[in-house]
Structure 1
């Protein structure tokens, strides 16, 4: 059964969803923008009932109890620090890390920062940060796909645009690939005071972080061909930034919202990855 828990840290208290018994293989799931831990509902149940102890937090800014005001508080280093702090509070010395979208960006950086603690990495949709940033700068296709960053980084303007007309622009981000009731849930969360600003601060702090090193832990990267945000250039060049065992899986005709649009396929890949790397 999936249960709601609280994870207190020095940075604040994170709301989280958990499934599975203590003593199971520890797996931490990181959501993306503009979602929340509930995006992992299928994976929480499947992994938690399959012998894992799984936790998915509402990340910094998404949890009301961990919502600092300054843009600088959303630097990648702070978000990576949250991963370690949550694992510490859970009593996890080592754990498997799974991230989608911005959660994937954080997961790449955390795996690079804590190779002794991250048993395996599964990145969903999001390529290695170095591959992504290079593609944004050098690949015209990726630059066009990432034009929305310009809007998201404009204080107050982005909030007004995204929430106008019952959050029509925010809802359109999901390409009608996520169930409507789930989108309603995400919109309701982000209309809470300062919630959307906090989520957008991840974009606004992006330039404050230096390069992410190569990752040495066993890595699975899952990308989908109909991803409107991530093009093939960054996806295919990610292999250059992994020095450990690496597996790249491409899902055909699936959008950016892999965890919810293709939950069974993704969960099977995650399980195969975990079973292949038990150390």
Structure 2
């Protein structure tokens, strides 16, 4: 289905009982709402209603050209507008990678719209900013962002030779067919540039300024995540004022929804059930 919001058209995948408690699922880079396909069956069986939008830059009808259009405040405003268009007052919010960043900022700025938060892989933005400033190992882990922020160069590097660079980035998500479900849409004209604009619009000061969250929160981190180290993961607790659970997965890479969808769904359900 499509949702028109803020002058943009978002593609959105829905499922589960129509009267079930709503869950907003926010994907990361360079994926799309399909990353939740193996997570949602467990949520639906438990009676939850899921809404998974292809976010700004990923939906063809929501792909503005200006880099400034991809600032975090705009991404959060999109999430609020989607909830409004769906008629959802408050949802259980789940985000992976960049979707987690949006989820954190949504919970910080609009706690009335977030019943619970389950953030996957990426910690609170201020925890990430802290680690980038203090931890040399996190700086090395995040060095790929320097490439991603270079217009034209990043696109050429990632899309050359049948998008082999992009496919290498995604190599841990699963087999070649699964990798292609994410890589192929990024080969459409303008798609990868729009997705990379999230990085190009990113400001460390904006991340650091994100307020602590007060909603019940679970943060899921995996010890083989090449992008997020333990310093950032463990610093996350300092930016949650509500009930907080840190869930560490052993032997799992960054691509948690693809690699261990059922354990992740169980974490989401545990968080939702803990609040009644």
Query: Do Structure 1 and Structure 2 share a fold, with TM-score over 0.5?
Result: yes
Shift, 1:208, TM fit: 7.8
| TM alignment of 1:5-154, pairs within 5 A | 5-154=1-150
Q: Does 1:245 align with 2:243?
A: yes
| TM alignment of 1:94-243, pairs within 5 A | 94-207=90-203, 210=206, 211-243=209-241
Shift, 1:126, TM fit: 0.4
Question: In angstroms, what is the RMSD of aligned CA positions?
Answer: 1.1
Task: Output the TM-score relative to the length of structure 2.
Answer: 0.97
In 1, Cα distance between equivalents of 2:35 and 2:165: 19
* Partner residue, 1:274: 272
Shift, 1:45, TM fit: 2.1
In 1, Cα distance between equivalents of 2:247 and 2:172: 23
Shift, 1:176, TM fit: 3.1
In 1, Cα distance between equivalents of 2:15 and 2:204: 35
Shift, 1:8, TM fit: 1.2
- CA contact under 8 A between 1:19 and 1:49: conserved in structure 2? no
In 1, Cα distance between equivalents of 2:198 and 2:173: 24
Runs of 4+ in 1 over 6 A off after TM superposition: none
- CA contact under 8 A between 1:76 and 1:209: conserved in structure 2? no
In 1, Cα distance between equivalents of 2:4 and 2:17: 20
Question: How many residues matched?
Answer: 274
Deviations, residues 64-104 of structure 1 (Å, cap 9, x unaligned): 01000000000000000011000000000011100000000
Q: Secondary structure at the match of 2:61?
A: helix
- CA contact under 8 A between 2:173 and 2:255: conserved in structure 1? yes
* Structure 1: gaps spanning 5 or more residues: none
In 2, Cα distance between equivalents of 1:32 and 1:71: 18
In 2, Cα distance between equivalents of 1:101 and 1:183: 17
